[in-house]
Homo-oligomer: A and B are copies of this chain.
Amino acid sequence: MKIKLPEVTVYRLALYLRTLEKLSQKGRNLVRSEELAELCGVSAAQLRKDLSFIGAFGVRGVGYHVRGLEKEIKRILGRDKIWHLALGGLNEMGKALITETRLAKRGFRFVAAFDWREEWVGQVIQEVYVYSLEQMPYIVKKSEIDIGVITLAGKEAEEMAERMSQAGIKAILNLGPDPLEFKKEGLILRNADLTLPFDLLAFALSQG
């Protein structure tokens, strides 16, 4: 089943999921919408609206089943699968992502890296092998790569996105400093902003 959800709703569902995972680890079975909403920083009405939208309804006077709701949101967000990631271009941020344990824990597994510099090809970073760009089409197929991750800037980022798309990668996450705008049929491209958590903190500090 396909569900059309605006990005801010997906963002809230991802927030709910993180809180449900914590509750679940603590062994909680049930949670009322008021408590869950407060833990997530949204209104209870908003939470109930979001959850009823994805077909999850709490029981009056009882609340939601923590594990059931966790599983359902995971399914909707596509977090019930293992995604295969490839890094395009080895800079500081790229290497940091490969070594990021949270991604692997959440089903986002780096299985390959690509670089155009000969001195990098053949190296292994945290069990991830670095291939040349020429090997990309073959590796993308063989390792069933779902998502290409780019942390490069400017022209390099554009070229890497182009190569990834040509190699058959269907989704690209650009975490580099420059938003990519290229469009290609069947390609999902997202520019994500690593500075967002800093904004949220600056706001909290300004209110200080």
Interfacial residues, chain A to chain B (CB-CB below 8 A):
2-3, 5-8, 10-12, 14-15, 17-18, 22, 41-43, 46, 76-79, 81, 83, 91-93, 95-96, 99-103, 105-108, 146-147, 153, 170-171, 173, 175, 177, 179, 188, 190, 192-208
A22 to B44, CA, bound (A): 34
Partner of A78, one of B14, B171, B202: B202
- The number of times this chain is found in the oligomer is 2
Q: Is B177 a contact of A205 with CB atoms below 8 Å?
A: no
Assuming A103-B195, A171-B204, what are 15 further A-B pairs, CB within 8 angstroms?
A: A5-B203, A8-B11, A14-B196, A78-B203, A78-B205, A79-B202, A81-B202, A83-B198, A91-B96, A92-B92, A92-B95, A92-B96, A101-B177, A108-B195, A192-B197
Which residue of B has the minimal Cβ distance to A7? B41
A138 to B201, CA, bound (A): 24
Q: Is B199 a contact of A190 with CB atoms below 8 Å?
A: no
Question: Which 4 pairs show the lowest CB-CB distances between chains A and B?
Answer: A78-B206, A192-B197, A78-B202, A92-B96
Q: Is B190 a contact of A201 with CB atoms below 8 Å?
A: yes
A100 to B8, CA, bound (A): 25
Partner of A201, one of B93, B173, B204: B173
What's the minimum C-beta distance from A171 to chain B, rounded to whole angstroms?
A: 5
Of A12, A199, A200, the most chain B CB neighbours within 10 A belong to A199
A197 to B100, CA, bound (A): 14
Q: Is B5 a contact of A108 with CB atoms below 8 Å?
A: no
Q: Is B198 a contact of A108 with CB atoms below 8 Å?
A: yes
Which residue of B has the minimal Cβ distance to A188? B204
A97 to B143, CA, bound (A): 30
A146 contacts which chain B residues (CB < 8 A)?
205
Q: Is A102 a contact of B201 with CB atoms below 8 Å?
A: no
A201 contacts which chain B residues (CB < 8 A)?
147, 171, 173, 188, 190, 192
Q: Is A14 a contact of B200 with CB atoms below 8 Å?
A: yes
